[in-house]
């Protein structure tokens, strides 16, 4: 002990301060990070300990590898501060945290970032000041490993300790401490577990295990069963005509929704009067989408592929990490039927990795922002009517009688709803809801644009089918949603929260077809419905989706509605009567998303 004491006495005051700064910095950064995000007081117990350990491991490993406390610590401080600020704003605008998949979508976020108003919080400003002062301490009192041998030993030790720690997290801590990210409210999970723990947990979702009983031979057997019964299946959406449309126009309208699906409310003028009036030659009703307020591409993915986000890896963004070449989808099917396939989106092509994904899906052409340079704008976005005029131009310019499929993603109604804009629709019973009133005014513009589109195609001779649906509901005032529900969102059960995942849909033809105006279905079924309605043959996969619809017309991450429209949760789902057909979906979708040497005969005509 005496020798240890003599050695300790030789350590200078400067070295003691340096060691203190070395250890204290990651702990301080944790406090500032979670303070800025608003979760400092909600992360407790073992989750607090795990986050502190992770911050210490990140900082000490970076220091040990670089042997530069100044460089590694100051760089990490800046990175974590920017990250925490971004997290704060994203939660404010989107009501969801930045998740692992969003890092891959940073370009998309950057292109719409200018449409929001950024007001730094007190915690953010105070954290910046604290970090600036603390940075001086890091700069003045750095720890340095002087021997290259000790440097290598420290680097190897810290990398090893971190690797063991992360391995232990995945193999023990997740199950021991029940760390699972809630699918329908990830913000609550982040508030409970802390940001680094939640992010590390999400990384585990990148490893996708095959479902029980999965094999290529099992899929082939299932395909044989589908082909055996396909000729006898009931065609739920078939039209009472043998006309095959020359134009199939599908429009995923940004944030197009009817918030009255939650509860009725009064406005001074109607905002969806034309859509409400449509009753001839159409199927319309409620589309159940997998996202709220953002993540447009997940609704897009369900629509185009027929795959369900409920059976995709939790909280994932398939457009970013799971799409393949080829990506079996509606455009590839219609391409095989002789249609020219065109995608339209009045924004940069790189958003949500669309340029690559669309190529894999078989689109012949993709027209992005540059195609809409002369189109009218509203709030710096192309208007729906200007967007639809480009659709009309394409159908007018094509050779007469040549089949054309258009998939259009609009932008007019994109959030946030805080830009200067004179609202034309006002709430008459709820006060101080400017975002909601701006949004409802935009819906009125969308409704007028839909009328313009339908009236145009009502007057042309080419058989035309128009499909329109919203990608998600808008992120307007939480108080507005809670006023409609009559309760805080945090107290609502999943079945009630599911009302926030409904948008209107329309399948209309300019020729006579029978009408159904009160339908309910998940977006994953649209490819099957469109092929049936267009009198085009179903693929084996879309035929299976038609059969699945009979058992569960609504399939969502929260749960599902059975054939009697009774709500079912996923709890003990293997014991429910729908399990056999869901297990078949599980096998087919895994094969489609992750299987090797996929047989195209399952997915194409």
Where exactly are the structural domains of the chain?
2-206, 216-602
Model confidence at 7: pLDDT above 80: no
Query: Is the whole-model pTM more than 0.95?
Result: no
Provide, for the chain, the percentages of residues in helix, strand and coil under a 3-state DSSP scheme, each rounded to the nearest 5: 55, 10, 35
d(CA 68, CA 145): 9
End-to-end CA distance of the chain: 81
In CATH terms, 216-602 corresponds, of 3.40.720.10, 3.40.50.720, 2.20.25.190, 3.30.450.20, to 3.40.720.10
The tens digit of pLDDT for each residue in 422-470 reads 999 999 999 999 999 999 999 999 999 999 999 999 999 999 999 999 9
Which of residues 317 and 583 earns the better pLDDT score? 583
The tens digit of pLDDT for each residue in 364-392 reads 999 999 999 999 999 999 999 999 999 99
**CB burial readout 84-107, b (16+ within 10 A) else e:** bbbbbbbbbbbbbbbbbbbeebee
Beta-sheet strands, E only, within 142-278: 247-253
Quote the tokens at residue 265.
């409310």
Contact by Cβ (8 Å): 310, 557: yes
- What confidence score (pLDDT) does residue 11 get? 72
Model confidence at 510: pLDDT above 60: yes
The tens digit of pLDDT for each residue in 10-24 reads 678 888 899 999 999
Mean pLDDT confidence for 394-423: 93
d(CA 263, CA 504): 15
Quote the tokens at residue 273.
């009067």
The tens digit of pLDDT for each residue in 102-161 reads 665 555 556 556 666 788 999 999 999 999 999 999 999 999 888 888 999 999 999 999
For residue 316, give every residue at least 6 positions away whose Cβ sits within 8 Å of its Cβ, in sequence order, or none. Answer: 101, 205, 322
d(CA 462, CA 395): 9
Among the listed residues 266, 268, 323, the one whose alpha carbon sits nearest the alpha carbon of residue 300? 323
Residue with tokens 């739920």, as numbered in its chain = 236
d(CA 268, CA 424): 9
In percent, the amount of the chain with pLDDT more than 90 equals 78
**CB burial readout 20-50, b (16+ within 10 A) else e:** ebbeebbebbbebbbbbbbbbebbeeebbeb
Contact by Cβ (8 Å): 563, 552: yes
- What confidence score (pLDDT) does residue 184 get? 47
Confidence band, pLDDT 50/70/90 cuts, at residue 513: very high
If phi > 0 it is left, if psi is from -120 to 50 it is alpha, else beta; for residue 599 that is beta
């Amino acid at each position: 002990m005496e020798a240890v004491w003599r050695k300790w006495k030789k350590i200078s005051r400067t070295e003691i301060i340096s060691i203190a700064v070395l250890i204290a910095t990651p702990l301080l950064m944790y406090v500032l990070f979670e303070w800025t995000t608003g979760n400092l007081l909600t992360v407790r117990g073992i989750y607090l300990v795990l986050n502190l350990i992770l911050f210490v491991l990140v900082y000490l490993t970076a220091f040990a590898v670089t042997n530069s406390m100044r460089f590694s610590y100051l760089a990490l401080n800046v990175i974590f501060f920017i990250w925490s600020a971004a997290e704060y704003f994203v939660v404010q605008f989107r009501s969801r945290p930045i998740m692992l998949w969003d890092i891959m979508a940073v370009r998309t976020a950057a292109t719409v970032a200018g449409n929001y108003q950024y007001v730094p919080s007190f915690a953010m400003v105070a954290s910046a000041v604290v970090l600036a002062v603390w940075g001086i301490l890091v700069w003045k009192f750095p720890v340095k490993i002087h021997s290259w041998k000790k440097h290598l030993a420290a680097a190897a030790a810290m990398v090893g300790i971190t690797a063991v720690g992360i391995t232990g997290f995945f193999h023990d801590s997740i199950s021991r401490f029940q760390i699972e990210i809630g699918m329908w409210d990830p913000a609550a999970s982040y508030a409970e577990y802390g940001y680094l723990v939640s992010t590390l947990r999400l990384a585990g979702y990148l490893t996708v295990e095959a479902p029980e009983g999965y094999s290529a031979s099992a899929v082939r057997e299932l395909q044989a069963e589908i082909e055996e019964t396909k000729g006898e299946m009931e065609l739920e959406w078939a039209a009472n005509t043998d006309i095959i449309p020359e134009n199939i126009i599908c429009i995923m309208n940004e944030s197009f929704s009817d918030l009255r699906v939650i509860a009725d409310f009064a406005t001074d003028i109607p905002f969806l009067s034309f859509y409400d009036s449509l009753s001839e030659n159409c199927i319309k009703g409620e589309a159940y989408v997998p996202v709220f307020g953002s993540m447009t591409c997940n609704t897009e993915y369900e629509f185009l592929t027929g795959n369900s986000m409920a059976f995709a890896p939790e909280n994932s963004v398939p457009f970013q990490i799971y799409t393949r070449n080829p990506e079996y989808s509606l455009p590839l099917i219609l391409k095989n039927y002789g249609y020219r396939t065109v995608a339209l989106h009045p924004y940069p092509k790189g958003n949500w990795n669309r340029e690559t994904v669309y190529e894999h899906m078989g689109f012949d052409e993709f027209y992005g922002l540059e195609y809409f340079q002369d189109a009218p704008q509203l709030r710096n976005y192309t208007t729906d009517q200007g967007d639809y005029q480009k659709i009309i131009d394409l159908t007018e310019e094509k050779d007469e009688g040549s089949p054309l499929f258009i998939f259009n993603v609009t932008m007019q109604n994109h959030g946030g709803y805080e830009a200067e804009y004179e609202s034309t629709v006002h709430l008459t019973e709820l006060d101080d809801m400017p975002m909601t009133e701006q949004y409802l005014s935009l819906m009125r513009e969308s409704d007028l644009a839909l009328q313009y589109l339908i009236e145009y195609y009502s007057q042309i001779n080419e058989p035309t089918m128009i499909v329109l649906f919203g990608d998600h509901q808008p992120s307007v005032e939480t108080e507005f949603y809670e006023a409609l529900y009559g309760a805080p969102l945090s107290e609502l059960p999943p079945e009630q929260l599911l009302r926030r995942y409904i948008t209107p849909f329309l399948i209309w033809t300019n020729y006579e077809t029978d009408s159904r105006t009160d339908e309910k279905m998940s977006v994953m079924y649209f490819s099957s419905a469109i092929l049936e309605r267009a009198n085009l043959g179903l693929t084996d996969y879309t035929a299976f989706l038609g059969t699945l619809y009979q058992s569960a017309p609504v399939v969502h991450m929260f749960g599902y509605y059975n054939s009697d429209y009774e709500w079912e949760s996923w709890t003990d789902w293997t014991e429910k009567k729908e399990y056999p057909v869901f297990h078949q979906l599980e096998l087919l979708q895994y094969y489609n998303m992750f299987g090797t040497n996929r047989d195209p005969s399952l997915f194409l005509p």
